[in-house]
């Protein structure tokens, strides 16, 4: 008889505790907490800790894959295998025990409730553990975008059979498995070919990692190749009330296309004499005629609530936070029931949640928040519905917003950085309940001179007649974090009419220099990854990337940046807040072909993944196509590199490629040779031979171009070695186990023969014999005493230590 009715499996312990507390309060009972689960009435709640399982390494499928050989590529498993995740020390014991505890609880319940995070990755984390444990119990899905009481109430009432989320699970599998196939095969293929060409470092390849590094490298190349250009900006001052300035405009045709030969491709006036001529004309004319005078009313909506990438960019700009740091903070706020789910890619909210606004606003008003937020809350009108409330732009997730505070006092316990991030989330939410700003936008175009000699000057401005949401927070009036166009400056222009003549009160020009683009910061790189379509020229690819929200996901972009910054990979580094490629990272992107470094491939993958989620195609179809594509890509990798691309570093010369030889595996030290062919390998400490039979794996030193057995324990050839005995000619007469090896004396007075077991436990065999005509002198013919290890010839045995 099952012990529990339902077993809730949460993705994280904090989510399980929050749900348990809610269920207990809802039923008016107490929860019982145990080390592996919580019991609430007839229900039990347990948890994972993110991924408890991971895809196994290539050598799990076949031991020979432990070595990187091009002939083994591509590596395409028939079925992908999961194993308990290793900890930082490489152990699986912790994950094993955790999984076993979940397995035990599964046997004691009637129904399983999946409570993974509400996204494709959360669905996979939840489903893969159930599949691994071979669960046969019915499974339903609890999909909660936030953990406050109101959100949990709605989510529990809307639970569906887990099978309805199969598309989400398979979409995540497509991403995970294709990333494994691409990363494993292309990293190995490119590293092997690059090393054969002279590279000394691995070439790490990743579907998102490589195009992201390419963004940073290309920006650095732009900066390095940038040459500043002097240019000039003529301006005139007009004698009106109020007075204003207008800026010179190059000549254009009827369609607005610039046709002025005096400007360069960037539409800049680069000849000082041209600027002087324009100003001379203005001074001679001394007046301007109004060619265009337009004033139109307009409205300006408040900035939308945050998606994760927008919040990361905003906090990077405002507080200098790294992308991972911001994610960790907002994740903490989510787990404390103060904010909604963070790993989201939308800035919009479901329309039915607008009804929660009065309660959320009221709870925020009771919290210890900065005065500016308190004042904005007083002016907020919960009945207003901004453009953020749009069901058409919301799928499984909605923007990051504050939740209704069950305990407003919780805000006072936040850390300094948690409070800062929380306040930014609150501000964006509160702005949705302030009215639009209203303004009058004015555009003026003025002409100086007549006919073909006329020069035109323009001015734009806006005058706010109702500040609306702009009054709520002064710092919210900045440009969009994702790089959207800045609005017309807040400039009040006079009311003018067409053909009106205006006196010119002054004229001159500004001398300026073009500036190189700035390096990426973590915040701006996150934005670039999301808006990667802006860096693509192909219209179809641009469309796919724009619709697919760029490269990476809200959950993975910060991790990708951290991976690129890993010192062991030597690809990217920081300079203050700026991101720069390393020399190795620069070379890698410059050498790899465009189809590896551009995001075009990701666009196709994401479109296919979206089709899998929508059940328009299947995971199997996706993997079949991936496998075919990977096979072709691996074959093409042989042409990516050549020796001229890798200058030799005298401090770290490249190793020669391994070579098959006709030598056979022989001898008895430390094991018997198997007779297979030997391969000559360029090792860190010099060339050596290794048996091509993986089950044998015996290694040999290279002496005078031939393989020779090593001393026991795999000792390397030392400076005192003269010759190693080939095969078993001379048996040690003392221990009758070892073979005799010929060694050079340390004093360079000749050589001696010593037992191969001299390093064995319990002191080893110290037998040593003088050398006589290339053979051990068993009969004591030679007079020289003292071998290389202090051994004399006396009967073939070394003298015992004094304390023996």
For 525-544, give the DSSP string: HHHHHHTGGGG---HHHHHH
Q: Fill in the DSSP letter of residue 259.
A: -
Span 188-206, pLDDT tens digits:
999 999 988 888 889 999 9
pLDDT attached to residue 746: 67
* CA–CA dist 588, 203 (Å, integer): 7
In the chain, count H helices and then E strands.
20, 26
Q: Mind telling me the catalytic residues?
A: 341
pLDDT attached to residue 794: 34
Confidence band of 731 (pLDDT split at 50, 70, 90):
confident
Q: How many CB atoms lie within 10 A of CB 644?
A: 8
H helix or E strand, kind and range, residue 274: helix 272-285
Torsion angle in degrees (nearest 10) through CA of 132, 135, 136, 141: -110
Span 439-474, pLDDT tens digits:
999 999 999 998 888 999 999 998 899 999 999 986
Phi, psi of 435 (to 5 degrees): -70, 160
Mean pLDDT of the chain: 87
Confidence band of 719 (pLDDT split at 50, 70, 90):
very low
Low-confidence winner among 183-187, 277-281, 694-698, 729-733 (lowest mean pLDDT): 729-733
Span 87-126, pLDDT tens digits:
877 788 889 999 999 999 999 999 999 999 888 889 999 9
pLDDT attached to residue 95: 92
Confidence band of 394 (pLDDT split at 50, 70, 90):
confident
* Mean local confidence (pLDDT), 372-399: 90
* CA–CA dist 568, 204 (Å, integer): 11
User: What are the structure tokens assigned to 605, written together?
Assistant: 């993958």
* CA–CA dist 435, 94 (Å, integer): 54
Q: Using the predicted structure, report yes or no on whether residue 657 has a pLDDT greater than 60.
A: yes
Residue 393 C-beta-side C-alpha neighbours within 13 Å: 15
Q: Using the predicted structure, report yes or no on whether residue 759 has a pLDDT greater than 70.
A: no
* Mean local confidence (pLDDT), 50-61: 94
Q: Using the predicted structure, report yes or no on whether residue 350 has a pLDDT greater than 70.
A: yes
Low-confidence winner among 341-345, 365-369, 551-555, 667-671 (lowest mean pLDDT): 667-671
pLDDT attached to residue 778: 79
Q: Using the predicted structure, report yes or no on whether residue 652 has a pLDDT greater than 90.
A: no
Low-confidence winner among 232-236, 504-508, 522-526, 789-793 (lowest mean pLDDT): 789-793
* CA–CA dist 731, 753 (Å, integer): 11
Q: How many CB atoms lie within 10 A of CB 413?
A: 11
Angstrom distances, CA of residue 772 to CA of 722, 727, 751, 752, 781: 15, 19, 9, 9, 7
* CA–CA dist 405, 361 (Å, integer): 9
User: What are the structure tokens assigned to 575, written together?
Assistant: 């300079």
* Mean local confidence (pLDDT), 704-717: 65
Q: Using the predicted structure, report yes or no on whether residue 488 has a pLDDT greater than 70.
A: no
- Percent of the chain past pLDDT 70, that is, above it, reads 89
pLDDT attached to residue 658: 76
Question: Between 694 and 215, where is the model more confident?
Answer: 215
Residue whose entry in the numeric block shows the structure tokens 């949990």? 152
* CA–CA dist 797, 792 (Å, integer): 7
> 323-349: b or e for each residue (b if 16 or more CB lie within 10 Å)?
bbbbbbbbbbbbbbbbbbbbbbbbbbb
pLDDT attached to residue 571: 95
Low-confidence winner among 400-404, 746-750, 791-795 (lowest mean pLDDT): 791-795
pLDDT attached to residue 649: 65
Q: Using the predicted structure, report yes or no on whether residue 1 has a pLDDT greater than 70.
A: no
The answer to whether 418 and 329 have CB atoms below 8 angstroms apart is: yes
Greatest pairwise CA separation for the chain in angstroms: 125
Confidence band of 490 (pLDDT split at 50, 70, 90):
low
* Mean local confidence (pLDDT), 728-750: 73
**DSSP alpha helix (H) spans, 336-399:** 357-365, 371-379
* CA–CA dist 612, 334 (Å, integer): 29
Confidence band of 667 (pLDDT split at 50, 70, 90):
confident
pTM for the complete prediction?
0.73
Q: Using the predicted structure, report yes or no on whether residue 729 has a pLDDT greater than 70.
A: no
Q: Using the predicted structure, report yes or no on whether residue 639 has a pLDDT greater than 80.
A: yes
- Taking each helix axis from N to C end, the angle separating 416-431 and 308-319, rounded to the nearest 10 degrees, works out to 120
Q: Using the predicted structure, report yes or no on whether residue 713 has a pLDDT greater than 50.
A: no
Residue whose entry in the numeric block shows the structure tokens 């044998």? 696
* Mean local confidence (pLDDT), 540-555: 77
Q: Fill in the DSSP letter of residue 23.
A: H
Span 305-328, pLDDT tens digits:
999 999 999 999 999 999 999 999
pLDDT attached to residue 53: 96
pLDDT attached to residue 653: 64
User: What are the structure tokens assigned to 596, written together?
Assistant: 């590896």
Low-confidence winner among 266-270, 288-292, 750-754, 760-764 (lowest mean pLDDT): 760-764
* Mean local confidence (pLDDT), 611-618: 90
Contacts of 553 (CB under 8 A, 6+ apart): 121, 343, 345
CA-closest candidate to residue 563, choices 323, 760, 353, 789: 323
pLDDT attached to residue 777: 84
Q: Using the predicted structure, report yes or no on whether residue 716 has a pLDDT greater than 60.
A: no
Q: Using the predicted structure, report yes or no on whether residue 186 has a pLDDT greater than 70.
A: yes
Angstrom distances, CA of residue 567 to CA of 571, 584, 787: 8, 11, 49
Burial class of residue 570, CB neighbours in 10 A (0-12, 13-18, 19+): middle
* CA–CA dist 431, 391 (Å, integer): 19
Strands 53-55 and 160-161: unpaired
């Amino acid at each position: 008889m099952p012990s529990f009715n339902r077993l809730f499996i949460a993705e994280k312990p904090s989510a399980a505790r929050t749900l348990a507390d809610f269920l207990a309060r809802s039923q008016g009972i107490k929860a019982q907490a145990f080390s592996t689960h919580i019991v609430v009435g007839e229900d039990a709640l347990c948890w994972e800790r993110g991924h408890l399982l991971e895809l196994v390494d290539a050598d799990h499928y076949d031991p020979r894959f432990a070595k990187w050989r091009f002939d083994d590529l591509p590596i395409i498993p028939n079925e992908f295998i999961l194993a308990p995740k290793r900890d930082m020390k490489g152990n699986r014991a912790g994950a094993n025990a955790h999984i076993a505890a979940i397995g035990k609880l599964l046997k004691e319940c009637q129904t399983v409730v999946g409570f993974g995070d509400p996204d494709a990755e959360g669905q996979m984390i939840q489903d893969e553990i159930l599949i691994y444990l071979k669960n046969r119990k019915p499974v339903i899905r609890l999909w909660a975008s936030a953990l406050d009481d109101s959100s949990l109430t709605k989510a529990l009432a809307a639970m569906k059979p887990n099978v309805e989320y199969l598309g989400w699970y398979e979409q995540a599998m497509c991403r995970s498995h294709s990333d494994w196939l691409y990363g494993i095969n292309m990293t190995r293929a490119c590293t092997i070919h690059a090393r054969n060409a002279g590279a000394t470092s691995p070439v790490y390849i990743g579907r998102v990692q490589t195009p992201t590094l390419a963004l940073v490298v290309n920006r650095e190349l732009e900066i390095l190749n940038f040459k500043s250009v002097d240019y000039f900006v003529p301006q005139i001052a007009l004698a009106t009330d109020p007075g204003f300035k207008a800026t010179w405009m190059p000549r254009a045709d009827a369609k607005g296309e610039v046709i002025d030969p005096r400007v360069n491709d960037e539409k800049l006036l680069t000849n000082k004499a041209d600027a002087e001529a324009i100003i001379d004309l203005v001074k001679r004319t001394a007046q301007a005629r109004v060619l265009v005078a337009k004033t139109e009313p307009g409205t300006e909506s408040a900035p939308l609530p945050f998606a994760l990438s927008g919040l990361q960019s905003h906090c990077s700009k405002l507080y200098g936070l790294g992308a991972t740091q911001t994610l960790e903070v907002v994740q903490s706020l989510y787990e404390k029931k103060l904010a909604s789910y963070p790993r989201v890619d939308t800035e919009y909210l479901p329309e039915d949640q607008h009804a929660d606004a009065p309660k959320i606003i009221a709870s925020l008003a009771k919290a210890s928040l900065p005065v500016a937020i308190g004042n904005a809350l007083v002016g907020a009108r919960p009945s207003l519905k901004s453009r953020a409330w749009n069901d058409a732009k919301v799928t499984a997730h909605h923007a990051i917003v504050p939740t209704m505070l069950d305990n407003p006092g919780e805000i006072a316990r936040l850390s300094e950085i948690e409070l800062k991030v929380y306040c930014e989330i609150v501000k964006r939410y509160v702005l949705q309940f302030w009215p639009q700003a209203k303004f009058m936008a004015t555009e003026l175009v003025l002409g100086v001179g007549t006919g073909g000699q006329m020069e035109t000057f323009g001015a734009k401005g806006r005058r706010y007649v109702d500040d609306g949401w702009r009054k709520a927070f002064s710092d919210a009036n900045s440009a969009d974090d994702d790089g959207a166009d800045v609005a017309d400056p807040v400039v009040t222009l006079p009311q003018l009419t067409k053909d009106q003549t205006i006196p010119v009160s002054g004229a001159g020009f500004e001398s300026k220099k073009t500036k190189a683009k700035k390096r990426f910061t973590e915040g701006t790189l996150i934005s670039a990854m999301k808006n990667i379509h802006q860096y693509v020229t192909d219209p179809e690819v641009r469309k796919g990337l724009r619709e697919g929200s760029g490269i990476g996901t809200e959950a993975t972009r910060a991790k990708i940046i951290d991976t690129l910054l890993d010192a062991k990979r030597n690809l990217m580094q920081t300079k203050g807040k700026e991101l720069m490629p390393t020399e190795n990272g620069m070379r890698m992107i410059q050498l790899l072909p465009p189809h590896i470094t551009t995001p075009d491939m990701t666009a196709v993958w994401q479109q296919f993944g979206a089709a899998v989620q929508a059940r328009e195609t299947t995971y199997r179809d996706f993997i079949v196509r991936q496998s075919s594509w990977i096979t072709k890509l691996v074959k093409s990798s042989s042409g990516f590199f050549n020796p001229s691309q890798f200058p030799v570093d005298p401090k770290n010369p490249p190793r020669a490629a391994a070579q098959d030889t006709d030598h056979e595996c022989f001898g008895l030290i430390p094991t018997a040779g198997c007779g297979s062919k030997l391969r000559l390998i360029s090792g860190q400490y010099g060339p050596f031979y290794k048996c091509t039979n993986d089950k044998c794996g015996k290694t040999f030193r290279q002496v005078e171009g031939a393989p020779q057995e090593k001393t026991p324990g795999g000792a390397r050839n030392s400076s005192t070695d003269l010759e190693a005995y080939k095969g078993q000619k001379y048996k040690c007469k003392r221990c009758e186990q070892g073979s005799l090896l010929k060694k050079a004396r340390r004093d360079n007075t000749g050589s001696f023969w010593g037992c191969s077991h001299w390093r064995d436990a319990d002191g080893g065999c110290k037998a040593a014999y003088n050398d006589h005509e290339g053979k051990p002198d068993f009969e004591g013919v030679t007079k020289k005493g003292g071998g290389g290890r202090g051994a004399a010839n006396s009967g073939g045995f070394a003298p015992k230590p004094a304390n023996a």
